[in-house]
Structure formats: structure tokens, C-alpha cells
């Protein structure tokens, strides 16, 4: 009674005294039932192919901000969440308060999916893991993987064009790009083929289903330990994935002498200047592998899916990108590590895609201490809701064309920190963003180089949040091989 009623009412009163309101708190469930209802309604039918997608992805946030203003509170179970879309406050939260503000603890199915790697650990343990993984994703390391990314991509594109001649053919690019990203992360990060890692991806897909079912459900203390049907399925999936990852680690230990993949970098001992041992133990390596298998595939595949759809719709930008690629990659040669930075238009297209369709459209954080944020006094244990997709589409920040595809807005720097943060901000930003951008640039450039493409009549525009921002009914695109 005290935790589920009196404390939330006290917190609600605390924010109301500061002029911050929101939907009423309902004991135990908070506003989760309302959230599920609005999202389910939004998903019942597709929308026109335009980029005013915030209402479809997060209808409840749009409704509440219209009633209560840009800053409001709502309730996820008995946990209060403070919704923030003001760039200055986001910057202050992520840069000035990063020591007090951390990730919201993951629910059990999501922990199963990503493991106790970077997304699910805190404090000194997080700092240690971050230090080691930072080394693995330095740009100079990532550029060493470019030839392999090019080779894997070329193999996939040859399969797309096999036996097609000049005929137009349809591909559901969301699935194809997931398979390609899975192959790239398998080879570059873990030194294995897609086929060897395929079972891990299949099992993680099952874990995604479990996670989606749990995302908008209140988790009761201790419930995850009960031998329910869902919990036993969770445990079985987790055991099998861990065993497969152990086998990959064992294989890598036998062949890693000249290997430069992520797995080798994770398990290689290193010393800092103080002589502190920075080596992961076997369990920590497994957890980080689980995290990167999921994040490395999902983020890049979804970014590329939306980029292809945007260029299939906006043919003028597809043509501009192709002209640049032909100029930079002489004689239709593949992209390489040296000319990657010369693909400025491709880079702008990817950034504009990240603005309109960020793979992770919402960030959540939680403060461990009382903090002052702008004019607000925020009590400890408050969770923060940062809907970046709303910020990225805000006409007050981006102008009247905020909902239009215009890569030129990234031709010059100018937007303040907190206005554009597809990979988060500050010390806790995405550790794999260098790999995500390099891989995306290579794959997108090679697709444009070898094919022209338009949106299929079968495509139904329905962006939806399923852990990442995805096309609900697939992404059907018509391709024609260029000669």
C-alpha cells in the first residue's frame, strides 16, 4: 500500500507544485493499460507515405503533450516518468548529470536478450566494460574491417541480381538487410559466418517476441523466478544461446592468434597505466557477445531499411548520391577505407534518416539522487522519458520542413546538443556507433552503385516501435540492376 499508493501520490503532488502535471496515477499499473490501448489502435492500419510519424509511433505521448504541455509526468507501474523534449534540458541531463543518471533497469526478458553486457550493467562494472569495448570500436579498428564488410555486401548483392537480367524484381529489404547485418556482425565481430551464428539470431528473434510481450507489462518483484511457462521458455532460450556463444568463444580461442575481431579484443588481456587487470572473465565475454549480436544487427539493419525506403521515394536524392559514388569510386570500384569520408551526400542521407527514423526512437534514464534540472527539483528514482523521435521532428527546432526529407540540413553543423541524438549523448552514448555508420555507409553506397530502385506498390507505410523502429508490414522495394 505504501509503495504502490502513498509514495506515487506524494511524488505526483511534488511535481504538481512545480507546475508539472500528467495523467492520473492508477495503483500498481500506472498508465500502462492506456499506453497499450493507444499503441494497439495506432497499429490497426497503415498511414500515407509521409514522414509525420510521431503520432503513429507514440500516440500516447502526442495526446498527453497536447493536454499537459511538453514536460509532463506519467506512470509506468508505480514508477514516475518525466517526459522531456527540450534540447537544453536533455543536454543538461545527459552531460552534466551523467554520474547520477543511469539507464532504467531492464525487465527480465530484455535482460535475457542483451545479457548483462553494457546495456544492463551499472557503476564501476559498466565503466570497466565501457573502457574495454571503447578500444574495440575505435575508428581505426573499424576501418580495418572495411574490406570484409565490402566482400560480404558484394556477395549479398550478387545473390539479389542473379538471373534477373534487366528485369525489375521485388525484395523485402527489411528481412534481407537483417540477414546482411547479421552476417557482417558475425564475421567482423566474432570471426564466424552467418550460418554459424544463424541459430543465435533465430533464438534471439524468439527472445524479442518474449520481450515485446513484457515491455508494457508491470513486472512484480520475484515473479521472474517462478517456474511459469513463459519463464521456463525464457530460461531454455537463454541456456541455448549461452552454450552457442561459449562454442564460438572456444573456436576463437583456437584461431585468434592473428585475429582482429571484436571477440578477440574482448578476451585479450590488457593493462591500464595503473597495472589494473582489465580482462573480462568468460561470463562477461558471453554477456557482451549477446549484447552485440542483438544491437549490432538491429540498429544497422533498421537504419539501412529506412534509408533505402527514403531514397526509393525521393528519387532526386538517390540520383545525387549515385553521382557522388561514381565520382568518388573510380571505375565503379567498391568503397574503401580511404574514400569513405568523401561520400558526403551519402553521409547526409544517413543522418537525415537517423533524424526522421531513429532506430531507437526513445531513451529512458533514471536518477539515483535528487537533482536540479533546469527549474525543476527532481527526486531520486525518477525515470526520464526522452522521445528523441519527437525532438527530431520538432518544427521549433528544425523549421517548418521538419517532417520532410532534406539531407541538406546536415551540410553544415549547427543544431545544438540535445536536438539530435540518435546514438545518445555524453559518456553513455552508443559504443558501436562508428561500426554502425561505417557499415551503413558502405552497404548503402554499394546498393546505390549496383541498383536503381523505387517503392513497390505493395509497400504499406507503418512505422512502429518493436524494440527498434521498424516497418510493421515489411519494406517492399522494386530493384533494377544497373549495367
Q: Give the confidence band of 271 by pLDDT, cuts at 50, 70, 90.
A: very low
More confident residue, 146 or 256: 146
Q: Give the confidence band of 272 by pLDDT, cuts at 50, 70, 90.
A: very low
**Does position 210 have pLDDT exceeding 80, yes or no?**
no
Q: Give the confidence band of 110 by pLDDT, cuts at 50, 70, 90.
A: confident
Q: What is the CA radius of gyration of the chain?
A: 23
Report how far residue 374's alpha carbon sits from residue 301's, in angstroms, rounded to the nearest whole number: 37
What pLDDT shows up at residue 270?
42
Are 51 and 354 a contacting pair, CB within 8 Å? no
**Does position 461 have pLDDT exceeding 90, yes or no?**
yes
Dihedral (CA of 400, 406, 412, 415) sign: positive
Q: Give the confidence band of 217 by pLDDT, cuts at 50, 70, 90.
A: low
Report the range of poorest mean pLDDT among 17-26, 265-274, 436-445. 265-274
What pLDDT shows up at residue 269?
40
371: closest CA among 123, 93, 83, 22? 93
Average pLDDT, the chain: 88
Are 415 and 91 a contacting pair, CB within 8 Å? no
More confident residue, 466 or 312: 312
- Quickly list DSSP for 381-433: T-EEEE-HHHHHT-HHHH-TTTTS--GGGGSS--PPTTS--TT--GGGS-TTH
**Does position 360 have pLDDT exceeding 90, yes or no?**
yes
**Does position 273 have pLDDT exceeding 50, yes or no?**
no
Task: Show me where the domains of the chain are located.
Answer: 1-99+362-398
Residues annotated within the binding site are 430
What pLDDT shows up at residue 164?
74
Which range has the top average pLDDT, 131-135, 228-232, 283-287?
A: 131-135
Q: Give the confidence band of 215 by pLDDT, cuts at 50, 70, 90.
A: low
What pLDDT shows up at residue 176?
96
Work out the average pLDDT over 167-189: 91
Work out the average pLDDT over 101-118: 77
Q: Give the confidence band of 453 by pLDDT, cuts at 50, 70, 90.
A: very high
More confident residue, 151 or 467: 151
Percent of the chain with pLDDT over 90: 59
Report how far residue 422's alpha carbon sits from residue 124's, in angstroms, rounded to the nearest whole number: 25
Report the range of poorest mean pLDDT among 100-104, 154-158, 447-451. 100-104
Report how far residue 205's alpha carbon sits from residue 83's, in angstroms, rounded to the nearest whole number: 30
Q: Please count the CA atoms within 13 angstroms of the CA of 266 that sit on its side-chain side.
A: 27
Work out the average pLDDT over 121-133: 84
What pLDDT shows up at residue 292?
81
Work out the average pLDDT over 360-385: 96
**Does position 162 have pLDDT exceeding 90, yes or no?**
no
What pLDDT shows up at residue 119?
80
**Does position 53 have pLDDT exceeding 80, yes or no?**
yes
**Does position 118 have pLDDT exceeding 90, yes or no?**
no
What pLDDT shows up at residue 25?
94
Query: How is residue 59 annotated by DSSP?
Result: H
Work out the average pLDDT over 173-197: 83
What pLDDT shows up at residue 63?
97
Could you report the per-residue pLDDT of 469-479, keeping only the tens digit for each? 999 999 999 99
Q: Which residues are CB-contacts of 162 (< 8 A; sequence separation ≥ 6)? A: none
More confident residue, 278 or 189: 189
**Does position 280 have pLDDT exceeding 90, yes or no?**
no
What pLDDT shows up at residue 467?
86
The helix, strand and coil proportions of the chain, stated in percent and rounded to the nearest 5, come to 55, 10, 30
Report how far residue 104's alpha carbon sits from residue 392's, in angstroms, rounded to the nearest whole number: 22
Report how far residue 77's alpha carbon sits from residue 186's, in angstroms, rounded to the nearest whole number: 38
Work out the average pLDDT over 327-350: 93
Work out the average pLDDT over 248-263: 65
More confident residue, 70 or 189: 70
Residues annotated within the binding site for heme are 430
Are 259 and 187 a contacting pair, CB within 8 Å? no
Amino acid at each position: 500500500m505504501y509503495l504502490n499508493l502513498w509514495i506515487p501520490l506524494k511524488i505526483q503532488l511534488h511535481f504538481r507544485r512545480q507546475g508539472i502535471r500528467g495523467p492520473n496515477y492508477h495503483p500498481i499499473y500506472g498508465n500502462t493499460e492506456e499506453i497499450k490501448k493507444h499503441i494497439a489502435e495506432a497499429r490497426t492500419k497503415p498511414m500515407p507515405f509521409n514522414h509525420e510519424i510521431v503520432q503513429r509511433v507514440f500516440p500516447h505521448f502526442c495526446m498527453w503533450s497536447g493536454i499537459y504541455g511538453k514536460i509532463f509526468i506519467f506512470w509506468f507501474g508505480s514508477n514516475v516518468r518525466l517526459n522531456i523534449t527540450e534540447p537544453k534540458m536533455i543536454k543538461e541531463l545527459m552531460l552534466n548529470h551523467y554520474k547520477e543518471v543511469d539507464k532504467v533497469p531492464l525487465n527480465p526478458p530484455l535482460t535475457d536478450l542483451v545479457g548483462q553486457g553494457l546495456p544492463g550493467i551499472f557503476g564501476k562494472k559498466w565503466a570497466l566494460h565501457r573502457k574495454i569495448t571503447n578500444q574495440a570500436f575505435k575508428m581505426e579498428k573499424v576501418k580495418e574491417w572495411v574490406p570484409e564488410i565490402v566482400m560480404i555486401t558484394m556477395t549479398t548483392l550478387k545473390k539479389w541480381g542473379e538471373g534477373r537480367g534487366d528485369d525489375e524484381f521485388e525484395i523485402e529489404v527489411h528481412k534481407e538487410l537483417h540477414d546482411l547485418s547479421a552476417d557482417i556482425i558475425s564475421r567482423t565481430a566474432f570471426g564466424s559466418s552467418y550460418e554459424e551464428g544463424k541459430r543465435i539470431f533465430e533464438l534471439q528473434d524468439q527472445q524479442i517476441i518474449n520481450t515485446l510481450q513484457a515491455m508494457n507489462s508491470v513486472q512484480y518483484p520475484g515473479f521472474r523466478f517462478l517456474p511459469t511457462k513463459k519463464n521456463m521458455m525464457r530460461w531454455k532460450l537463454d541456456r541455448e544461446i549461452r552454450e552457442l556463444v561459449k562454442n564460438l568463444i572456444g573456436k576463437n580461442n583456437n584461431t585468434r592468434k592473428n585475429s582482429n575481431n571484436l571477440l578477440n579484443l574482448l578476451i585479450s588481456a590488457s593493462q591500464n597505466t595503473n597495472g589494473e587487470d582489465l580482462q573480462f572473465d568468460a561470463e562477461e565475454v558471453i554477456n557482451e557477445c549477446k549484447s552485440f549480436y542483438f544491437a549490432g544487427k538491429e540498429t544497422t539493419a533498421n537504419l539501412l531499411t529506412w534509408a533505402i525506403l527514403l531514397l526509393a521515394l525521393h528519387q532526386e536524392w538517390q540520383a545525387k548520391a549515385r553521382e557522388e559514388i561514381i565520382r568518388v569510386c573510380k571505375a565503379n570500384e567498391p568503397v574503401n577505407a580511404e574514400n569513405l569520408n568523401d561520400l558526403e551526400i551519402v553521409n547526409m542521407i544517413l543522418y537525415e534518416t537517423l533524424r526522421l527514423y531513429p532506430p531507437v526512437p526513445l531513451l529512458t534514464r533514471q536518477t539515483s539522487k535528487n537533482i536540479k534540472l533546469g527549474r525543476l527539483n527532481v527526486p531520486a528514482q525518477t525515470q526520464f522519458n526522452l522521445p528523441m523521435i519527437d525532438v527530431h521532428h520538432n518544427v521549433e527546432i528544425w523549421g517548418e520542413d521538419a517532417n520532410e526529407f532534406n539531407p541538406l540540413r546536415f551540410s553544415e553543423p549547427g543544431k545544438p546538443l540535445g536536438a539530435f541524438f540518435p546514438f545518445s549523448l555524453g559518456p553513455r552514448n552508443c559504443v558501436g556507433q562508428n561500426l554502425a555508420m561505417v557499415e551503413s555507409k558502405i552497404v548503402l553506397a554499394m546498393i546505390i552503385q549496383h541498383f536503381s530502385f523505387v517503392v513497390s506498390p505493395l509497400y504499406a507505410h507503418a512505422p512502429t516501435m518493436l524494440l527498434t523502429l521498424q516497418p510493421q508490414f515489411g519494406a517492399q522495394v522494386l530493384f533494377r540492376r544497373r549495367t
